[in-house]
């Protein structure tokens, strides 16, 4: 008898996040809705903290309890987030794939809401959960596609009003949603060629949702699906500089790919201006770093300069945790 594929594949990418990974897996097990056949895939992205062995130990515990097995993909060499997610999407057998970072914890009812949203909208290629910070407060997680207009909104400090789309209590179409907890229709991902590995991390899911939209698929924001996303961003500039470089370099890559060189240049100038103004304001604002804002301004204007997370990984250094 042929094996019936599961309805859902949980696809977790982990980079040196052993404890977070185990918490993510526990949350999957704790919140998974009954009656939905599922599989769990974990990609360990060349971790050096024992993450792969911890995942195997978690799998052995489940097997001893009679639960389904976990499939582990352990990479010896570090790859980017887009390449990681694409590898899992190709490995998965589910009709839907729920992409998760290792530092994401699904809340009760999240999976059921995401699956239900795609079931109810056959032309939806993806659906994003409402992300929460570690204190349980909602954070922006769906936006309009980047462009000159959104960069101008940022320069006028109207970003939250005009660009952020993760608001309201009803499921609604958005331009793109963060991949920390993003359900994807596997058929749609196959048709657009998965995520573009040219994006090491940042703007990979934005580019993916843009290509979904161009192919006639919608992306949904599903506020009834909630997931805690622990913030990994470094506050120390020396530790966080490659991440800042990567962020601006990938935004520029997105703009050149989808908007052309003139639009990319305009976005660089407008974004640098916005960060420069924030840097001036930070001088007079407790808890804000003028130096960090100045670094963002410089990288926005000159994205090719500096060492990025990808650069550090290619030269054999430790780029840190490369999820978003």
What would the pLDDT profile of 265-280 be if each residue is shown by its tens digit? 999 999 999 999 999 9
Same domain for 82 and 150, yes or no, is yes
User: 276 with 202, same domain?
Assistant: no
Percent of the chain with pLDDT over 70: 92
Angle, CA 47 vertex, CA 244 and CA 106 arms, to 5°: 75
**Are residues 205 and 285 both part of a single domain?**
no
pLDDT, tens only, 89-99: 999 999 999 99
Q: What is the pTM of this model?
A: 0.93
Whether residue 160 is found in the same domain as residue 303: no
DSSP states of 125-152: EEEEEEEE-TTS-B---EEPPPSHHHHH
Supply the pLDDT for residue 313: 86
pLDDT averaged over every residue in the chain: 92
Q: Are residues 255 and 192 in the same domain?
A: no
Q: Which residue, of 229, 254, 283, is where some domain finishes? A: 229
Q: Are strands 218-229 and 104-106 parallel, antiparallel or unpaired?
A: antiparallel
Return d(Cα 215, Cα 187) in angstroms, integer: 12
Q: Which domain holds residue 69?
A: 8-229
- The backbone torsions φ and ψ at residue 44, rounded to the nearest 5 degrees and listed phi first, read -95, 120
Query: Is residue 99 a contact partner of residue 88, using CB atoms and an 8 Å limit?
Result: yes
Residues 260 and 217 in one domain: no
State yes or no: pLDDT of 66 exceeds 60: no
- 202 Cβ partners below 8 Å, 6+ apart? 246, 247, 250, 251, 324
Q: What is the pLDDT of residue 29?
A: 95
| Pairwise pLDDT comparison (233 vs 128), residue with the higher score | 128
Q: How many domains does the chain have?
A: 2
Question: Residue 283: is its pLDDT beyond 90?
Answer: no
Co-location of 196 and 291 in the same domain: no
């Amino acid at each position: 008898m042929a094996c019936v594929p599961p309805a859902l594949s949980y696809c977790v990418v982990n980079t040196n996040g052993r404890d977070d990974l185990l918490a993510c897996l526990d949350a999957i097990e704790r919140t998974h809705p009954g009656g939905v056949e599922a599989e769990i895939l974990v990609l360990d992205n060349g971790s050096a903290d024992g993450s792969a062995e911890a995942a195997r130990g978690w799998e052995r515990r489940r097997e001893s309890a009679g639960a389904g097995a976990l499939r582990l993909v352990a990479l010896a060499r570090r790859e980017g987030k887009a390449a990681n997610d694409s590898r899992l999407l190709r490995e998965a057998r589910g009709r839907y794939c729920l992409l998760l970072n290792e530092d994401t914890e699904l809340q009760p009812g999240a999976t059921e809401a995401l699956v239900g949203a795609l079931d109810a909208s056959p032309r939806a290629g993806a659906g994003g959960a409402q992300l929460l910070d570690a204190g349980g407060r909602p954070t922006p997680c769906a936006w309009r596609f980047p462009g000159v207009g959104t960069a101008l909104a940022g320069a006028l400090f109207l970003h939250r009003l005009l660009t952020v789309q993760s608001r309201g209590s009803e499921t609604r179409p958005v331009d793109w949603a963060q991949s920390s907890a993003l359900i994807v229709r596997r058929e749609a991902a196959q048709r657009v060629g998965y995520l573009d590995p040219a994006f090491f991390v940042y703007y990979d899911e934005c580019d993916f949702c843009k290509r979904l939209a161009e192919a006639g698929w919608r992306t949904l924001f599903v506020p009834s699906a909630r997931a805690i996303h622990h913030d990994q961003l470094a506050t120390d500039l020396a530790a966080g500089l490659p991440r800042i470089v990567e962020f601006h370099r990938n935004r520029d890559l997105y703009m050149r790919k989808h908007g052309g060189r003139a639009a990319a240049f305009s976005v660089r100038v407008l974004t640098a201006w916005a960060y420069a103004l924030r840097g001036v304001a930070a001088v007079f604002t407790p808890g804000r770093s003028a130096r960090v804002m100045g670094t963002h301004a410089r990288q926005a204007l000159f994205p090719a300069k500096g060492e990025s997370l990808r650069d550090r990984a290619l030269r054999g250094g430790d780029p840190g945790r490369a999820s978003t």
